[in-house]
Amino acid sequence: MTVDFTTIGKTSSYISEQEASKTKKNNALDQEDFLKLLTTQLSNQDPSSPVDNNQMVTTMSQLSVVDSLNTITKGMDDIVNSISSSSALSASSLVGRSVLVNSKTAFFDGNTPLTAQIDGGSGATDVKVTITDAAGQIVSTFSCNAIDGETDFSWDGIKNEETGETYDAGKYTVTATGYVDGSAVTLPIKTYGTVGSVVLGSNPANTKLNILGYGEVALDNVEQISL
């Protein structure tokens, strides 16, 4: 009985993948294989009917083109890998930074004020801001005369002004309504959050930021980065 020691410590799925890889590689002809076939053909050609020179030149030209394309492909792969590495390094530098995301829900930690950005467009009047908890219950409301353009709004989470007691830590949603050109509208809201970690994807588009107390947010969903 013969024992294949190369398979010891390896799972059956790993062994299958390696065998499939070998089969795929063995079924593919590279440049070296092509040259061997060409050399064999030339050495065994019929002297009375040699290979046509034009055909030989065409074949060598095609081989040169294929080799050039392989070189270009490898170069492009190196560039893509370099860009991905650079993007990953840039994303990791966001840890600890405050970012503005396209979400009206944010995390309040019980101490640091929750900050949001309200977009009043060309001008909104009779603006009312409402804060609701995760259960959808209203915990605070605020009113202001008018908002013009993008304006930051901060909620300190104070539940009792006399004692300074704050609401429990958790997710809270900010909504804002007002009048634009005489019509009642819901104003766009974005919120700030602190980056706790970065989840790197196979490419920059799949990279996600883990916002403390909130969860993962796609990197392309980040609107603004601040200190």
**pLDDT tens-place string over residues 107-152:** 999 999 999 999 998 899 999 999 999 999 999 999 988 899 999 9
C-alpha pair distances (Å), 89 with each of 21, 93, 111, 181, 224: 32, 7, 31, 46, 18
- What pLDDT sits at residue 66? 62
**pLDDT tens-place string over residues 153-162:** 999 999 988 8
d(CA 206, CA 203): 6
Residues making up the chain, counted from first to last: 227
> By percentage, how much of the chain surpasses pLDDT 70?
58
**Domain 98-226, CATH 1.20.120.1810 — does that match?**
no
Let me know: does 167 contact 108? Beta carbons within 8 Å.
Answer: yes
Q: For the chain, what percentages of helix, strand and coil (3-state, to nearest 5) are there?
A: 35, 35, 30
- The band of 218, judged by pLDDT with boundaries at 50, 70 and 90, is confident
- What pLDDT sits at residue 223? 81
Residue 32 CA, chain-centre distance (Å), reads 39
Token representation of residue 39: 């050399």
Instruction: Check: pTM over 0.85? Answer yes or no.
Output: no
Higher pLDDT, 14 or 19: 19
- The band of 96, judged by pLDDT with boundaries at 50, 70 and 90, is confident
pLDDT, mean over the chain: 77
Sequence spans of domains, the chain:
98-226
Token representation of residue 197: 């970690």
Q: Give me the mean pLDDT over the 197-210 stretch.
A: 76
